Structures are given as C-alpha cells and as structure tokens.
Amino acid sequence: MGKTSITVIGLGPIGQALAGAFLKGGHSTTVWNRTADKAGPLIGQGAVRADSVTEAIQAGSIVVICVLNYDAVRSVLEFAGEALAGKILINMTTGSPFQAREMAEWAAGNNIDYIDGVIMTLPPAVGTPESAIMYSGSESAYRTAQSSLASLGGLSDYLGEDPGRASAFDLALIGLFWSSMGGYLHALALAGAEQIGAGQFSKYAQKMIGTLSDLMTEVAKHVDEGHYPGDLSNLHSAVAGLENIIHTSERHQIDAGLLRAFHSLAKRAIDMGYGDEAVSRLTHVLRMPN
Ligand SMILES: NC(=O)c1ccc[n+]([C@@H]2O[C@H](COP(=O)([O-])OP(=O)(O)OC[C@H]3O[C@@H](n4cnc5c(N)ncnc54)[C@H](OP(=O)(O)O)[C@@H]3O)[C@@H](O)[C@H]2O)c1
C-alpha cells in the first residue's frame, strides 16, 4: 500500500522543513504558500505545487498547516471547510490553548478531524532524531496519522483529546525559555560590569543551570503534593540573596527589573506567612489574585 498523501500549507522555514521531511519519508506531498515561489526548492525534491488552497487540500488525506499565526490560519482556511470535510487537519501554527480549542470547534462543525501540533524544534532539526513535536486533539486522527508523522523524526508525543493541551505545554515551556534567557542575560550584564567576560562566565552559568535542572523534579513534587518543606532553603533566605543581587546590579546601574519582579513575589509570599517554606510555594502564590 502506498504512503498517505500529505498537503503542507505554509512554507516559512518550518513549513519547508515539514514538507521536506514528508518527501524524504516517501510521501507524495503537495504544497501551497501565499507567496508561490517559496515552493521552488521543494518542487526540486519532488513536491507538487497547488495553484489554490482548495486544490492543495483536495490532494492530501492529511493536511498540515503551519503559518505565522491563527489569523493567517483563519484567512487561509476560511472558505476551505467543505474541501477539508472528512480529512485530518494538523495545525502546527503556534497559538494559545484557547485558539486551539476554538479551531477544533470550527473543525468539528465542518466534519474535519482536528489535531493541534506544537513544534519544539528549530527548522534544521525537523526530520532528524533531534526533532520534538507534541500533539493533542482527536486521538483516532492522531493514530491514523502517526506513521506519517514518524517522518518528522525524533520525539512525537500525543498528549490527549483536549486540543489545547499541546499548546498549553508549548506556551509554558516557551515562557520557561524566555524567563531563563532573561536571567542569563541579566547575569551577563552583571558579570560584565565586574569585568568578567561573557565567554568565561558562560561555562559557570551552564553549571548553575545544571543545578536548576536537578532541582526541577523536587520542585514539581512540592507543587503536585501542595507541600513545600523549607528545611534546606526557604523564602527568607531567597529574598536576602535576591536583595544582594538587586543592590549590586543597581550600583552598577544595571536594570534589575526581572529580579525585582521575582523579589516582590517572594516578599508577598512572606507577608502571607510562607517565609519558612521553600521557594516552590511561589507557584501557589502566583495563582492567587494580587
Ligand atoms: N521558525 C521556527 O524556528 C519555529 C519553531 C517552532 C514553531 N514555529 C512556529 O511555526 C509557525 C511557522 O513558523 P515559520 O518560522 O515557518 O514561519 P513564519 O515566519 O512564522 O510565518 C511565515 C509563513 O506564514 C505565512 N503567512 C503569514 N501571514 C499569512 C497570511 N495572512 N495568509 C497566508 N499565509 C500567511 C507566510 O506566507 P508568505 O511566504 O506568503 O509570507 C509563510 O508561509 C509559526 O507559528 C511559528 O511560531 C516556528
């Protein structure tokens, strides 16, 4: 039996990588992009360029869309509900869990099997063992598409029927990325103010991130169990340490806003009577209205 035919809509860096991986995996692959000439390199690899969205959708049993944002998804698929009926639609565009659920409702109303996919990888990793993609939404559609999705390589996890679940993982993880990056950039500014080169500092920063990584499982256990033992380190000592870093930064005229935000959260927790508990208590405090 031949491999499932795939349509890829959207040929930004990720869409190109997805289409390339499906082609390498032996799938007959049809592509469409608003700016048609972006399909050029893929045609060289065997892709078929469709002249319209509807023609592209008609060519594939599985339709993958990956464009800038959900507004772009809507503008592309607005009039395509009929052509998509009975097909599997996998939306790999980054959005929010709310947007994913709304899209799933639209799909259900048009008899489309909907899966939301999130790509946790840069374009060159797609189709390699380093790739990481997570999915949620229709389980039967995922099981049908699973062998084709294997062409995208690496980790391919199905997270459940709630279409917003993959996006929820994605946003929380990207938030972790940016707040960690913010911490690193602040550390480089502070180190630089003390004449420590960024290159020299980065080796030690990586070791510190390793310590953070080691702590994550323990912190998750506190949060899951709703129990925050502060016997090794507590919020009082965290606040004292943060104040030291904030004052030193500000003496160097470095913006300490990121750490000030964390400091005020920790102070709020102390004011609520949690000072002897571990810093993991802050997840609970973050969920409380200020
Ligand atoms: N790049 C990454 O490293 C990466 C990693 C993970 C996830 N993602 C996510 O994957 C999605 C695609 O990312 P990307 O980097 O491949 O491309 P992108 O630069 O985010 O988006 C470009 C694509 O969106 C299309 N597009 C934009 N507005 C449109 C509209 N109004 N109507 C139709 N098409 C429209 C573009 O078409 P034209 O070519 O005609 O402009 C192009 O195909 C995004 O949601 C992104 O967040 C990206």
Which residue has the least CA distance to atom 17 on ligand 1?
A: 12
> 11 CB less than 6 Å from ligand 1?
yes
Domain ranges of the chain: 6-160, 197-286
Nearest CA-CA partner of 76 in 101, 58, 49, 57: 57
> 10 CB less than 6 Å from ligand 1?
yes
Q: Give the Cα separation of 171 and 113 in Å (integer).
A: 23
Check if the beta carbon of residue 10 is closer than 8 Å to that of residue 18. Answer: no
Check if the beta carbon of residue 29 is closer than 8 Å to that of residue 6. Answer: yes
Q: Give the Cα separation of 290 and 288 in Å (integer).
A: 6
pLDDT score for 81: 80
Task: Spell 194-214 as b/e; 16+ CB within 10 A means b.
Answer: eeeeeeebeeeeeeeeeeeee
For residue 9, report the distance from its CA to the centre of ligand 1, in Å.
Answer: 10
Residue 6 Cα distances to 3, 153, 175, 242, 257, angstroms: 9, 16, 32, 52, 47
Which residue has the least CA distance to atom 15 on ligand 1?
A: 13
Q: May I ask the CATH class of domain 6-160? A: alpha beta
Check if the beta carbon of residue 260 is closer than 8 Å to that of residue 246. Answer: yes
Pocket test for ligand 1, best of 18, 67, 90 (most atoms within 8 A of CB): 67
Consecutive sets of 10 residues in the chain, 290 residues long: mean pLDDT of each?
A: 90 98 98 97 97 97 98 95 94 98 96 97 96 97 97 95 98 96 98 98 97 96 98 96 98 98 98 98 93
pLDDT score for 269: 98
pLDDT score for 1: 56
Residue 27 Cα distances to 5, 8, 59, 147, angstroms: 6, 11, 12, 11
Q: What CATH number matches the domain at 197-286, 1.10.1040.10, 2.60.40.650, 1.10.10.10, 1.10.274.10?
A: 1.10.1040.10
pLDDT score for 290: 76
